[in-house]
Amino acid sequence: MTHYTGPIKPKLPHVGTTIFAVMSQLAHDHQALNLSQGFPDFPVSEELIGLVNAYMKEGYNQYAPMLGIPALREAICAKIEDLYGRVYHPEKEINITAGATQAIYTAVAAVIHPGDEVILLAPAYDSYAPAVEVHGGIPVYSHLKAPDYSIDWEEVQARLTPRTRMIVINTPHNPTGTVLAETDLQRLDEVTRDTDIIVLSDEVYEHIMFDGQVHQTVMRYPSLVERSFVTFSFGKIFHGTGWKMGYCLGPENLMAEFRSVHQFLVYCCNTPIQYAIADFLKGPSHYLGIGQMLQAKRDFFLDLLKDSRFTFEPSSGTYFQLLDYSRITDEKDTEFAVRLTEEHKVASIPVSVFYPDLVDHKVLRFCFAKREETLQKAAAILCKI
Ligand code: PMP
Ligand code: GLN
3-state DSSP call for residue 118?
strand
Do 175 and 273 lie in one domain? The reply is: yes
Residue 299 lies in a domain: yes
Residue 272 C-alpha to ligand 1 middle, in angstroms? 21
For the chain, the distance separating the N- and C-terminal CA atoms, rounded to the nearest angstrom, is: 47
User: Who's near 295: CB < 8 A, 6+ residues apart?
Assistant: 210, 211
Atom 4 in ligand 2: residue holding the nearest Cα: 38
Do 352 and 254 lie in one domain? The reply is: no
How do beta strands 363-367 and 320-324 pair? Answer: antiparallel
Residue 2 lies in a domain: no
Cβ atoms of 238 and 280 within 8 Å: the answer is yes
Q: Can you list the residues of the chain whose pLDDT is less than 50?
A: none
Residue 51 lies in a domain: no
User: Who's near 58: CB < 8 A, 6+ residues apart?
Assistant: none
Cβ atoms of 178 and 172 within 8 Å: the answer is yes
User: Who's near 7: CB < 8 A, 6+ residues apart?
Assistant: none
Question: C-alpha 175: how far from its chain's center?
Answer: 9
Do 99 and 170 lie in one domain? The reply is: yes
The DSSP element (H or E) to which 159 belongs, if any, is helix 153-159
Kindly report the length of the chain.
385
Which numbered atom of ligand 2 lies nearest the CA of 174? 4
Residue 4 lies in a domain: no
Do 159 and 132 lie in one domain? The reply is: yes
Could you say which of 285, 301, 332 is where a domain stops? 285
Query: Distance (Å, rounded) from C-alpha 254 to C-alpha 256?
Result: 5
Number of domains in the chain: 2
**Residue 356 carries which side chain, given as an amino acid letter?**
P
Containing structural domain, residue 245: 62-285
Look up the CATH number of the domain holding residue 352: 3.90.1150.10
Residue 329 C-alpha to ligand 1 middle, in angstroms? 31
Residue 1 lies in a domain: no
Residue 274 C-alpha to ligand 1 middle, in angstroms? 18
Nearest C-alpha neighbor of 235 from the set 246, 249, 219, 221: 246
Residue 102 C-alpha to ligand 2 middle, in angstroms? 13
Pocket test for ligand 1, best of 125, 171, 277 (most atoms within 8 A of CB): 125
3-state DSSP call for residue 92?
coil
Residue 240 lies in a domain: yes
Cβ atoms of 351 and 358 within 8 Å: the answer is no
Query: Distance (Å, rounded) from C-alpha 15 to C-alpha 24?
Result: 18
Cβ atoms of 218 and 197 within 8 Å: the answer is no
Which numbered atom of ligand 1 lies nearest the CA of 170? 3
Residue 6 C-alpha to ligand 2 middle, in angstroms? 34
Do 166 and 247 lie in one domain? The reply is: yes
Pocket test for ligand 2, best of 17, 18, 19, 20 (most atoms within 8 A of CB): 20
Do 369 and 263 lie in one domain? The reply is: no
Do 80 and 141 lie in one domain? The reply is: yes
Residue 16 C-alpha to ligand 1 middle, in angstroms? 19
The set of protein residues with a Cβ atom below 6 angstroms from ligand 1 is 38, 99-101, 125, 170, 174, 202, 204, 233, 235, 241, 244, 246
Do 164 and 246 lie in one domain? The reply is: yes
Residue 250 lies in a domain: yes
Helical axes 70-84 vs 271-282, angle rounded to 10° = 40
Residue 12 lies in a domain: no
Specify the pLDDT at position 296: 98
Could you say which of 255, 285, 315 is where a domain stops? 285
Do 208 and 313 lie in one domain? The reply is: no
Specify the pLDDT at position 283: 84
Do 259 and 299 lie in one domain? The reply is: no
The set of protein residues with a Cβ atom below 6 angstroms from ligand 2 is 18, 20, 37-38, 174
Residue 173 C-alpha to ligand 2 middle, in angstroms? 12
Do 66 and 132 lie in one domain? The reply is: yes
Do 256 and 186 lie in one domain? The reply is: yes
Which numbered atom of ligand 2 lies nearest the CA of 349? 10
Cβ atoms of 228 and 201 within 8 Å: the answer is yes
Specify the pLDDT at position 1: 75
Which numbered atom of ligand 1 lies nearest the CA of 173? 3
pLDDT in tens, 320-361: 999 999 999 999 999 999 999 999 999 999 999 999 999 999
